[in-house]
Amino acid sequence: MEIAQAAFADAPRDAYVPPMSVPDRLAACTLCADRFAATATAHRPRPVVWFRPGVRILIAGQAPGARVHASGRPFSDPSGDRLRDWTGLDAETFYDRDRVAIVPMGFCFPGYDAKGSDLPPPAICARTWRNAVMDHIGHVPLTLLVGGYAQKWHLGPGTVAAHVAAWRDHAPAVFPLPHPSWRNTAWLRRHPWFEAELLPALRARVAEEIR
């Protein structure tokens, strides 16, 4: 509510001030401005807001990368290409906000450290926004948990390998997935069951919801 109050601070006292929606308040969030300014990238907050009520699929990810920070479009990078291949969705359907919501654990690009490595999503982002966003979206028939941060929030403690290996315990409503980064290519090669067993089930489940 602080963001909403600041936005209308100069409004006449007798004017009707409509409440700001969750997406609008999130898009205006600058909670981590000082944190991001202190990173090696010294960037400003740019929350990537990509969700609406009534969607059929929720993709819960980690945080936008540098390319997504520049484009404002989630998974607009090679990781997104791989994720779309995993789901069997073409780009048009993947980015249809009436059917697919993309809700990361951190809505802004966290930046790089001094060595050029990705910083983790700030925990304060999920604590501040996640419950409000999930309430705004409402019930979703199918949730994809992409990476360890989303899996720990939704499923509890455990490694990515353990959560993904137990995917049958969560299906058909939830599918835990490794992050589709090229860094996980070796992991995928060591676990051929992911492509042989999990992906066919995932694609069939996605097809059920996207008609």
The reported pLDDT for the residue numbered 13 is 55
Q: Split the chain (211 residues) into runs of 10 and give each run's mean pLDDT.
A: 43 61 97 96 96 97 95 95 98 97 98 90 97 97 97 97 98 97 93 98 97 81
The domains of the chain, with CATH numbers, are 48-209 (3.40.470.10)
The reported pLDDT for the residue numbered 5 is 43
pTM of the model: 0.89
The reported pLDDT for the residue numbered 7 is 44
Alpha-carbon gap, residue 3 to 200, rounded angstroms: 44
For 123, residues 6+ apart whose C-beta sits below 8 A from its C-beta are: none
